[in-house]
Amino acid sequence: MGEGRPIRQGNIYWADAFPPLHGELAKRRPVVVVSTADMLRREELVVVVACTSSALPSDTEAIELPDTSRTPQARSGLNRRTWAVPSWWLPVRRERLSEYAGFIRGDVLRRVVGAEFQHIARQGQGPGG
């Protein structure tokens, strides 16, 4: 996992065999860590938001992440248009974060984290929608 790199909020990892979302099969996909630093120190599980590079229905809330195809200096490690989907949040074991890709910070990270927590509060439901 991530070459011994500490897990931090905003890090993007590839997660293997991610549970099916939106009618798909389980597959490898990028995820954004949304757990706070305090949660990462205390909890065994890491809360992540799954991402997609596929077209989504218009009623799906999604936040576009920076990628190197459109912004060469992007540090996300993503090489094509990709969206974080706040309703696709899930606590995962650290071992599931198989490969570090990069990170997001600033306004984009605030939007992803804020939307994820708003989704949880609004829906009052378990992980993954």
Q: What is the mean pLDDT of the chain?
A: 85
Q: Quickly state the pLDDT bin for 128 (edges 50, 70, 90).
A: very low
To the nearest 10°, the Cα dihedral for 69, 2, 20, 75? -20
Q: What are 93-113's pLDDT values in tens digits? A: 998 898 999 999 999 999 999
Q: What is the CATH number of domain 2-123?
A: 2.30.30.110
The model carries a pTM of 0.84
Q: How far apart are CA 96 and CA 16, in angstroms?
A: 6
Domain-wise residue ranges, the chain: 2-123
Q: What are 7-46's pLDDT values in tens digits? A: 999 999 998 877 666 666 667 899 999 999 999 999 999 9
